[in-house]
Amino acid sequence: MMAEAARPRARATLLTIGRIVLFAGGVLPWLLPLGRASLPLGAVGAAIDLLFVPMCHRLPERTLVLWGTPMPLCSRCAGIFAGVALGAAIARPRLPLSRWRWVIAATGALMVLDVVMQDAGFHPVWHETRVLTGALFGVAIAVTCVTALRGKTVSALPAD
């Protein structure tokens, strides 16, 4: 009986921890340039920066500069991280988990469309669209994670 009563509290704790981790991870690449510009981060800043090296190409022409310091990710990846933070902070999963996979696919398709349009030369690097398409994708990822943590398990997805 006590174990059953502990399950909702454990799920609520897991949900809170998950949202905090998603939010903190999402804002980290945005805070790093501020920290590097205003604090003597030294080796700590360099170590945090190294976390992002395997995640992104970090091409200078595709990277935002904040407070005179380049971000550790390109603008699209920075948008994804910002979207994850936003999605974790305001996640209101009004859709069932089975629908969120379609939202992820649609927002991912928008990103791919922007990549193709940019790389095919239809438009130059537009940081605004890179950040926006990345943020939409990041929000969808975070809300899907929060929805799953709320107890709408992946096993509830219909079989294809």
**pLDDT tens, residue by residue, 11-39:** 888 889 999 999 999 999 999 999 999 99
Query: Does 79 fall in a domain?
Result: yes
Q: Partners of 66 in the beta sheet?
A: 69
Query: Does 159 fall in a domain?
Result: no
Q: Which residue has the tokens 């922007």?
A: 114
Angle at 132 between CA 128 and CA 133, to 5 degrees: 120
Query: Does 11 fall in a domain?
Result: yes
Query: Does 125 fall in a domain?
Result: yes
**CA distances to 26, 76, 80, 100, 101 from 108, in Å:** 18, 12, 11, 12, 10
Query: Does 55 fall in a domain?
Result: yes
Q: Which residues contact 45 (CB under 8 A, 6 or more apart)?
A: 32, 35, 36, 39
Query: Does pLDDT of 111 surpass 70?
Result: yes
pLDDT for the residue numbered 135: 98
Tell me the two tokens of residue 100.
């969120």
Query: Does 158 fall in a domain?
Result: no
Q: What is the DSSP letter of 123?
A: S
The average pLDDT across 101-127 equals 95
Query: Does 91 fall in a domain?
Result: yes
Position 152 confidence tier, pLDDT thresholds 50, 70, 90: low
Q: Which of 57, 1, 48, 58 is nearest to 25 (CA)?
A: 48
pLDDT for the residue numbered 96: 84
pLDDT for the residue numbered 2: 54
Query: Does pLDDT of 156 surpass 50?
Result: no
CA distance 46 to 43: 5
Count the domains in the chain: 1
pLDDT tens profile 48-101: 999 999 999 999 999 999 999 999 999 999 999 999 999 999 977 778 888 988
Q: Which of 34, 30, 16 is nearest to 81 (CA)?
A: 30
The average pLDDT across 126-145 equals 96
Domain of residue 21, residue span: 2-153
User: Can you list the alpha helix ranges (DSSP code H) found in 39-96?
Assistant: 42-52, 75-90
pLDDT for the residue numbered 69: 92
Tell me the two tokens of residue 56.
């992104």
Strands (E), the chain: 65-66, 69-70
Position 3 confidence tier, pLDDT thresholds 50, 70, 90: low
What length is written for the chain?
160
Query: Does 77 fall in a domain?
Result: yes
